Amino acid sequence: MEVVTAEYAELKKYAVDFFVLLAFKKEFEKTISALSSLEKERCIEQGKKTDFDGEIGKIFIVETKGKSYKNIIVCGAGEADGINPEKIRRSIGFGVKLAKIVGGGSVAVVCPVVKNILLDHIGDMVSEAVILADYSFEKYKSKKSRIGKIIK
């Protein structure tokens, strides 16, 4: 299976708190190719500090300092050959949860195009991941322990 990175729009056009990027194992450099050289260096440095290897559940955040988008969250998506809709949803979900915990109000997801998944389905997967990651049952929680919602 061949993994092709998505067409990265000019990221600086988007004024969001977080960009969530998915990175497959052995595809990390390809994932961050649309970033500026300084951001690439920071991502590589942070990835090394956190022993990021692209496994599902591995995640790190980089502050961009002065860009229209404030932070980049890189989420592991596992092996490209074994990718499926559920793995994409889970990976995006980890990124959205981290954004929610850190206190972000807006999130943009840059998802790679995978040959065995139709483009039409990727939008559905991203939407489901964001909604599920943002959900919390708060009926019995005190007001102090509630985490802010990303979806408003």
Q: Is 146 exposed, middle or buried (0-12, 13-18, 19+ CB in 10 A)?
A: exposed
Q: Which helix (H) or strand (E) holds 70?
A: none
pLDDT tens series, the chain, 152 aa: 233 333 444 566 777 888 888 888 887 787 777 777 778 888 888 988 989 888 988 999 888 876 677 888 899 988 888 878 788 888 888 888 888 888 877 888 877 666 666 566 677 777 777 777 777 776 766 666 555 555 54
Which of 103, 112, 110 has its CA nearest to residue 27? Answer: 112
Bridge partners, residue 76, by sequence: 23
Bridge partners, residue 73, by sequence: 20, 61
Give residue 147's identity as a one-letter amino acid code. I
The pTM (predicted TM-score) of the whole model is: 0.76
Which of 37, 124, 135 has its CA nearest to residue 88? Answer: 124
> Can you give the pLDDT at residue 130?
76
